[in-house]
Structure 1
Amino acid sequence: MDTKITVKNAATYTQEEAVNASLQYFKGDSLAATVWVNKYALKDSEGNIYESTPNDMHHRIAAEIARIEAKYPNAYTHQQVFDLIKDFKYLVPQGSPMTGIGNPYQIASLSNCFVIGNDNSDSYGGIMKTDQEQVQLMKRRGGVGHDLSHIRPKGSPVKNSALTSTGLVPFMERYSNSTREVAQDGRRGALMLSVSINHPDAVDFIDAKLEQGKVTGANVSVRIDNNFMKAVQADAPYIQKYPIFSDNPLYTKEISAKDLWDKIIHNAWKSAEPGILFWDTIINESLPDCYADLGYKTLSTNPCGEIPLCAYDSCRLLAINLLSYVEKPFTAAASFNFTLFKEHVAAAQRIMDDIIDLELEKIDAILSKIDADPESDEVKLVEKNLWLNIREKAREGRRTGIGITAEGDMLAALGLRYGSDEAVDFSENLHKILAVEVYRGSVNLAKERGAFGIYDSEREKNNPFVLRLKEADSQLYYEMQEYGRRNIALLTIAPTGTTSLMTQTTSGIEPVFLPVYKRRRKVNPNDKDVRVDFIDEVGDSWEEYVVFHHRFKEWMDVNGIDTTKNYTQDELDALVQQSPYYKATSNDVDWLSKVRMQGRIQKWVDHSISVTVNVPNETPQEVVAQLYMQAWEAGCKGVTVYRDGSRSGVLIAATEKKEEKTADVLPSIFPVKRPYVLEADVVRFQNSKDKWIAFIGLIDGRPYEIFTGLADDEDGIALPRWVTEGLILKNKNDDGSTRYDFQYKNTRGYKTTIEGLSHKFNPEYWNYAKLISGTLRHGMSIEKAVDLINSLQLDSESINTWKNGVARALKRYIVDGTEAHGQKCSNCNSVNLIYQEGCLTCKDCGSSKCG
């Protein structure tokens, strides 16, 4: 039967048709096919799919680029653009441009990332305005960053009923929760929160994410200035101020720079956060900051840290696939085609400038949608002004984000070992050429289309990046002085995530993660001719199969090595040793070499670089400290370290390791007798139309007991919204019976106690709460406790509602990466699900389900 139907005069495809067609396009790569269909294929709000393969998408994008090109001299044709972007071979628009260009079914921005906020408003009005702006951007698919350094420190006086400020952390949680609440086509929003090390609450900011379940909707980074780094080196005191860096501060605080540095290092070693932004390097190198007084003062970065931006500016991303310029790859005659590369770099900058015009059209559509909405002008004011500000920055500055992907594969294809001196030299030279040619392209566009609105060569004359361009190509420099350039800033290196799935290459400038790894496929052990390699702790059977990295497999093909053979582990190890990927994986590369490489490439990237330095699990904290210090000295703008195992991973190394069974019950975790005092989290959620509240007692951050029920009514507990934590106390009533009380500090620091948690809620809930608390206290793993709760067959609708709320409250404590058993992905029916930040995430299609 023909399953194609006509909707709005366009052919549609079923999910199965699109996946099968894309599977053929990607030559059997099911992950790439599924991710493309779910994330990038054109679809409407009803789920109708209008594209069956990326060819359809690339024609859609080429048609729109060619339409814009026709407005300018020397226009590219549809076919010329298509030839540049087809097959993900050369130029790859990333994320939002790939989804949104030519998409009539979605009113959304083409920008990948935004920065919002201000650096002076400390009022609740300003804080709430930023919260609303963040939500409005995330619903349009953008990642958002903003800085909290303008918020006054904890305990400082305020002229309202609170009398003193709560400080940064409650607002971190507010912004984090807003991120988790906003859905973006099946995924949550992305948020970066930053603060200056100069802020008196910096230590609280740095510690905020250590408590499990807190600030789970945001990445956090600390803006570190050179004076702080020098104080660390000298083991000298450092003065924090509010307002930060003020000559007449309202509040000052002397700290030990070394002590705070050690805390940053410890937290990064333990959990890969906070990231570090070397703020003086960012500002000193920034071309937009030459126009700081005109509104281009950099405030924060996007969630991945590679685009420092001023308030209301945004950026669109496009990656150049470096592997495609290697001729005769993985052979002794391999070479890099710099002539073609330079030609395509100029084309990339031209296309990115066209995308800005398309973005301006999208913003106009968003503004028209806002105007047409039935709400009052008062309700719509913040959203409308937000997009007016964003439109102005995009129109005036015309910022672009040209980057690269497949650096690791490119080096391997040329026979260069990632991290070696020879490879670093080659990469630095390549990025120098990229910078020169991108800027040349922007200057040539200025000749044809005009310079960005506020270009002023005098303002930029002492900028270090411009001076390096002058040294590299003096003719380019003088032409730029004469004609200006089309775009205020041009280059970045972003993580390429799903883009690298499409190109089937390594991501960004990163080395290969693993050239060979294992995946697991759940099997029915009763089926005939099924191999069972692994039985998990609940008795499910799994087949393990070897997966080759695409370009490792290409190396095998080029060198006549059979890619269909079922190799033993020893044979796989021997193959890797023969390959250019040997000692060049993310865990192999010497961390110091990687930092040096990042610093040398950073000199030729006017924005920044998203890169993670991977170190083994046994790496001591002192090494992480040395790594961060070296990054600053090397001229990096930011750095993130990931210690293997500090967060749960997804892929399994293809080496033989003993399977570590995770027991359902861990009896040694908790003390035999319940302590009289427990730290507690307060979790609020909504079930159906009712507001609920849960008090979760913790030992070492792990749930030990739970009390929950309706909030703010006669049968529940009325608790101020700002209360998110406290203590649960075990006390005796006059008749000798036991009761549990909740205690918290009010805004003046005085203790407030709510007596008898067990008696505040419906007795029906309390009996089941005792059951759940009993399983937790005896060490049942959280995911198993959640499974138990979900399996309860209850007749009462109210108890079923309660049950769902308890499960939701506990999910936030499940360790990221934990496999979810017995459940299927609602999008693709895969059983390959894991918990990420309390949400079920499908490892096959990438969709996420929360709640």
Structure 2
Amino acid sequence: MNANEKMIGTSLEPQEVSVDVLLEKYAKGSETSVRDVRLRVARGLAAVDTPKKRAEMETLFVWAQENGFVPAGRINSAAGLEIKATLMNCFVQPVGDSITGSDGDLPGIYTAVAEAAETMRRGGGVGYDFSEIRPFGSYVKGTRSRASGPISYMEVFDASCKTVESAGSRRGAQMGVLRIDHPDIEGFISAKDTGGFKNFNLSIGVTDAFMEALAADATFQLIHKAPPSDEQKLAGARQRPDGKWVYREVRAADLWEKIMLSTYDHAEPGILFIDRMNAENNLYYTERLAATNPCGEQPLPPYGCCDLGSLNLTMFVVNPFSANVYFDFDKMRRVAAVAVRMLDLAIDATQWPLKKQQQEGRSKRRVGLGFLGLGSALVMMGLRYDSDEGRALASAIAEELRNAAYAASVELAREKGAFPLFDAEKYLDGQFIARLPQTLRDEIRKHGIRNSHLLSIAPTGTITLAFADNASNGIEPAFSWVYNRKKRMLDGSTRVYEVADHAWRLYRHLGHDVADDAQLPAQFVTALQMSATDHLQMMRAVQPFIDTSISKTVNVPEDYPYENFKNLYFDAWIARLKGLTTYRPNTVLGSVLSVGSGAPAPATPSMPPDDDPLRKQFASRPLGELESVTSKVEYSTQEGKKAVYLTVSFIRVTGTLDGQPVTIERPFEFFMPAGQKSDGQQWITASMRLLSMAARSGGSIAKALGDMREVVWDKGPVRCGSLTKEDGTNLPMYHDSEVAAVGFMLQRILVRRGFLDSYGNQVPIAALARRLIERDAALHGDEQPPLQFHGELNRTIGRKKCPDCGAYALQKVDGCTRCAECNYIGGCG
């Protein structure tokens, strides 16, 4: 976009940030303007249309883009170019339970890794359902060993995503899903607590059965088709009449509490109501949905994919900020009809990463037309986002968009034929299709429909900056009217510029005073100035008219009460929503925007992720005495019995939260006493040194020991430790190697000390502090006052590195990736 060029459809000059994002992400070759990109996209899509209509369609496609249609990022960045990049934004990659090859119709784990890597390399974001992978500790018949569980294999996908740079210099985006009835669900909930899985969003597939158990305060079974180990059977695992194994039962409320606490602390995992997704699926008769794309707006089957686009609602507001303002529904319907044709053509124009994705995409022809700028458009209309009137208009817009999109797809079916898997009787029996106007249903029965699904509301952060003058993101209200964005330049310098919401800029352009936010009209309400319930109510108003799903973040303030927060997700289920994500700024996540005009406030230095917020203070052993625990470890291998003495030393670490002192005890040193360092056991000495290095650097001891327990050798099982049965007798425990056996015994030491929980996971910092207080009180009685602990200390999570400023400060907000340091926006649209 040239600096003096007017924004299409408005009288506003482009913002500097719009020019920057356009040139960096979407303009190719000699392109310098929005119009250049629109012309290329129009030509690229028209080129695969009916030959006689190509010239006419190219002109029509430019018109649609200039009047409000904004194709998603993949189309804008790759359409019309001779590159092997996909135009599809969304993919779901199936994952089976076998290591390689296939597991029925599902690819094995490492086959799935390779397929996902190719998809990300071509520019697609990928979602996975890992629920087919057998639970940790379950029996593996082929190797007579124990399974390592889905969480361990997720690390392989995480590493692959980190390595693969996708088309257009975009890093791959991933969504990991695990069903709530999977036996490893508790480990999945806490998977990010120690800084791992930086290349994943995580969501839990929640069933109606679980929510009903929660409502009834009942227990809930954690199940899997894979058989448990003998140890797990003795611990209570049993087989149901349907053949599935119940690994254990938990109180639904207790499991829900763990999910809600994690989400309250650091915005993950999200929730997918998978039974609702499937009940509303137009293709209920031929597919099963278990996962979504990375932002959650597209529930998709195995190898499913979707191309996206949005209507800029601000382009249909006539006479904004005036007494005779109105919304031009007729123009919106006309633009929507052209948009559907463009998205349908993208299915034919795209380069497909995998043959199976091509088969899936062309047999169903899913598209996802949505909108952006709802918050800005309501402000221009004089309506508050959190009002009944605002929700009524949003509902009307969604309904008209639905009808226009379905009518356009019927017309395409008359011209080009219905999607190959169309079955009129079954399709018309779908729950969503049953809500269409009767006239549309009659037309579908008579002519068919070109696209199985047509509607999706996605996050649109970068395309709104480049093509819509920073209108509000997707369905969201504005997060702030003005904020500052910092960008690191190639020469190392930093550029700072102001970014403003489109409605706010237009209001100022019309001559109104915007110097004081408090003096703005009542409709100028931001995300954090309304209640969480108001966010939910907006989703509830729109969702009935969207055949897939909505990517929306319910923003709540930092001091939002937890008791109110944890009810949001239950309310979302009652409201028949398909999913929900929340964001609460806090001392761990931070705030995502530097609000205000002028120079930004000094940035807080970013630090790399740690195991906990009390970063290790000593790089070498401190002077003085350390409290230590020594354990004699005896184990048996095929070579005979062995015994070693393992010692763990502990150190107290003090930090502060909100000015209050917090002291915990954590491992500092692992070692073997002298006299045991035979040639056959030098690997233990090396392991102790590596564990000590991890402890002193603030690394994750829980993960290091977990990795040790997964080491396998070919010398047969190692007998070490025992499991106590209900009758009081002991069952010997077997491990896959000596390394695994030693890791197990070290875990036991730390479990007894209270540093790890019974599953080997890191205990939250707040609990460690309380246990230390209790221990001191028990040891010293009233002789000296115990350490004080005030409030809750949130657990640190790992953050991804910002590609602009280099800070470890990337967070997910409104479905997009935002940097808390420089306000970079990416990973959406």
3-state SS in 1 of match to 2:159: helix
Aligned: 1:575 with 2:557: no
Which whole-Å CA distance do the structure 2 matches of 1:443 and 1:633 have between them? 33
Contact in 2 for aligned 1:143/1:190 (Cα 8 Å): yes
Residue 515 (structure 1) aligns with: 481
Is the alpha carbon distance of 1:153 and 1:415 closer, same or farther for their aligned partners in structure 2, counting shifts above 3 Å?
A: same
**In structure 2, which of residues 546, 563, 572 is the aligned counterpart of residue 605 of structure 1?**
546
Aligned: 1:322 with 2:305: no
Is the alpha carbon distance of 1:22 and 1:269 closer, same or farther for their aligned partners in structure 2, counting shifts above 3 Å?
A: farther
3-state SS in 2 of match to 1:77: helix
Identity among equivalent pairs (%): 30
Residue 114 (structure 2) aligns with: 132
What is the CA distance between 1:742 and its match in structure 2?
8.3
Which whole-Å CA distance do the structure 2 matches of 1:109 and 1:123 have between them? 28
Contact in 2 for aligned 1:72/1:449 (Cα 8 Å): no
Q: Which amino acid aligns with 1:479?
A: E
Residue 280 (structure 1) aligns with: 275
**In structure 1, which of residues 631, 635, 638 is the aligned counterpart of residue 579 of structure 2?**
638
3-state SS in 2 of match to 1:432: helix
Contact in 2 for aligned 1:198/1:239 (Cα 8 Å): yes
What is the CA distance between 1:609 and its match in structure 2?
0.2
Aligned: 1:41 with 2:27: yes
Residue 626 (structure 1) aligns with: 567
Which whole-Å CA distance do the structure 2 matches of 1:287 and 1:342 have between them? 22
Which whole-Å CA distance do the structure 1 matches of 2:503 and 2:34 have between them? 21
Which whole-Å CA distance do the structure 1 matches of 2:664 and 2:163 have between them? 23
Provide, for residues 698-720 of structure 1, a one-character-per-residue CA deviation record: whole Å limited to 9, x for no partner. Answer: 9799999899xxxxxx9xx989x
Aligned: 1:433 with 2:411: no
Aligned: 1:103 with 2:81: yes
Residue 416 (structure 1) aligns with: 383
Aligned: 1:90 with 2:106: no
Which whole-Å CA distance do the structure 2 matches of 1:309 and 1:574 have between them? 44
What is the CA distance between 1:312 and its match in structure 2?
1.1
Residue 330 (structure 2) aligns with: 339
Is the alpha carbon distance of 1:246 and 1:39 closer, same or farther for their aligned partners in structure 2, counting shifts above 3 Å?
A: farther
**In structure 2, which of residues 446, 452, 460 is the aligned counterpart of residue 482 of structure 1?**
446
Residue 384 (structure 1) aligns with: none
Which whole-Å CA distance do the structure 1 matches of 2:669 and 2:171 have between them? 27
Q: Which amino acid aligns with 1:165?
A: A
Which whole-Å CA distance do the structure 1 matches of 2:369 and 2:818 have between them? 33
Alignment RMSD: 4.3
Which whole-Å CA distance do the structure 2 matches of 1:189 and 1:702 have between them? 38
What is the CA distance between 1:152 and its match in structure 2?
0.7
Q: Which amino acid aligns with 2:345?
A: D
Which whole-Å CA distance do the structure 2 matches of 1:288 and 1:173 have between them? 32
Aligned: 1:390 with 2:350: no
Is the alpha carbon distance of 1:36 and 1:622 closer, same or farther for their aligned partners in structure 2, counting shifts above 3 Å?
A: same
1 or 2 for the larger relative contact order (CA 8 Å, sep ≥6)?
2
Q: Which amino acid aligns with 1:189?
A: G
Contact in 1 for aligned 2:461/2:825 (Cα 8 Å): no
What is the CA distance between 1:107 and its match in structure 2?
1.0
Q: Which amino acid aligns with 1:392?
A: Q
Which whole-Å CA distance do the structure 1 matches of 2:7 and 2:413 have between them? 42
Aligned: 1:190 with 2:173: yes
Is the alpha carbon distance of 1:836 and 1:330 closer, same or farther for their aligned partners in structure 2, counting shifts above 3 Å?
A: same
3-state SS in 2 of match to 1:401: strand
- Superposition map of 1:607-756 within 5 A: 607-645=548-586, 646-654=588-596, 744-745=708-709, 748-749=734-735
What is the CA distance between 1:291 and its match in structure 2?
1.7
TM value normalised by structure 1: 0.70
Contact in 2 for aligned 1:23/1:33 (Cα 8 Å): no
Contact in 2 for aligned 1:742/1:755 (Cα 8 Å): no
TM value normalised by structure 2: 0.72
Is the alpha carbon distance of 1:664 and 1:440 closer, same or farther for their aligned partners in structure 2, counting shifts above 3 Å?
A: closer
What is the CA distance between 1:70 and its match in structure 2?
3.5
Q: Which amino acid aligns with 1:51?
A: E
What is the CA distance between 1:181 and its match in structure 2?
1.1
3-state SS in 1 of match to 2:528: coil
Contact in 2 for aligned 1:832/1:843 (Cα 8 Å): no
Which whole-Å CA distance do the structure 2 matches of 1:175 and 1:730 have between them? 26
Which whole-Å CA distance do the structure 1 matches of 2:164 and 2:259 have between them? 30
Which whole-Å CA distance do the structure 1 matches of 2:614 and 2:175 have between them? 38
Provide, for residues 104-134 of structure 1, a one-character-per-residue CA deviation record: whole Å limited to 9, x for no partner. Answer: 2x2111111111115x544454011111111
Contact in 2 for aligned 1:146/1:194 (Cα 8 Å): yes
**In structure 1, which of residues 311, 314, 325 is the aligned counterpart of residue 302 of structure 2?**
311
Contact in 2 for aligned 1:221/1:275 (Cα 8 Å): yes
Is the alpha carbon distance of 1:546 and 1:234 closer, same or farther for their aligned partners in structure 2, counting shifts above 3 Å?
A: same
What is the CA distance between 1:817 and its match in structure 2?
8.6
Q: Which amino acid aligns with 1:34?
A: D
| Greater mean alpha carbon deviation, residues 486-495 or residues 509-518 | 509-518
Q: Which amino acid aligns with 2:360?
A: K
Where does the alignment leave 5 or more consecutive residues of structure 1 unmatched?
1-17, 43-48, 367-386, 524-539, 679-696, 708-713, 732-740, 757-812
| Greater mean alpha carbon deviation, residues 452-461 or residues 648-657 | 648-657
Contact in 2 for aligned 1:407/1:511 (Cα 8 Å): yes
Residue 634 (structure 2) aligns with: none
3-state SS in 1 of match to 2:177: strand
Residue 776 (structure 2) aligns with: none
Q: Which amino acid aligns with 2:595?
A: A
Provide, for residues 463-514 of structure 1, a one-character-per-residue CA deviation record: whole Å limited to 9, x for no partner. Answer: 2111111xxx211111101111001111100000101112120000000011
Contact in 2 for aligned 1:41/1:99 (Cα 8 Å): yes
Which whole-Å CA distance do the structure 1 matches of 2:443 and 2:415 have between them? 13
What is the CA distance between 1:550 and its match in structure 2?
2.9
What is the CA distance between 1:148 and its match in structure 2?
0.6
What is the CA distance between 1:65 and its match in structure 2?
2.5
Provide, for residues 733-758 of structure 1, a one-character-per-residue CA deviation record: whole Å limited to 9, x for no partner. Answer: xxxxxxxx9894356458956999xx
What is the CA distance between 1:253 and its match in structure 2?
2.0
3-state SS in 1 of match to 2:204: strand
Which whole-Å CA distance do the structure 1 matches of 2:297 and 2:401 have between them? 17
Where does the alignment leave 5 or more consecutive residues of structure 2 unmatched?
102-107, 227-239, 631-649, 654-662, 671-678, 697-703, 712-733, 743-795, 812-816
Residue 442 (structure 1) aligns with: 409
Residue 349 (structure 1) aligns with: 340
3-state SS in 2 of match to 1:316: strand
Contact in 1 for aligned 2:669/2:691 (Cα 8 Å): no
Contact in 2 for aligned 1:832/1:844 (Cα 8 Å): no
Residue 159 (structure 2) aligns with: 177
**In structure 2, which of residues 437, 440, 459 is the aligned counterpart of residue 495 of structure 1?**
459
Provide, for residues 758-806 of structure 1, a one-character-per-residue CA deviation record: whole Å limited to 9, x for no partner. Answer: xxxxxxxxxxxxxxxxxxxxxxxxxxxxxxxxxxxxxxxxxxxxxxxxx
Contact in 1 for aligned 2:198/2:799 (Cα 8 Å): no
Contact in 1 for aligned 2:182/2:223 (Cα 8 Å): yes
Q: Which amino acid aligns with 2:148?
A: T
Q: Which amino acid aligns with 2:74?
A: S
Residue 268 (structure 1) aligns with: 263
Aligned: 1:249 with 2:231: no
Residue 694 (structure 1) aligns with: none
Which whole-Å CA distance do the structure 1 matches of 2:695 and 2:308 have between them? 55
Is the alpha carbon distance of 1:400 and 1:817 closer, same or farther for their aligned partners in structure 2, counting shifts above 3 Å?
A: closer
What is the CA distance between 1:353 and its match in structure 2?
1.2
3-state SS in 2 of match to 1:404: strand
**In structure 1, which of residues 198, 203, 219 is the aligned counterpart of residue 201 of structure 2?**
219
Which whole-Å CA distance do the structure 1 matches of 2:157 and 2:18 have between them? 33
What is the CA distance between 1:557 and its match in structure 2?
2.3
Which whole-Å CA distance do the structure 2 matches of 1:541 and 1:101 have between them? 33
Aligned: 1:596 with 2:548: no
3-state SS in 1 of match to 2:203: strand
Residue 468 (structure 1) aligns with: 435
**Alignment length (residue pairs):** 663
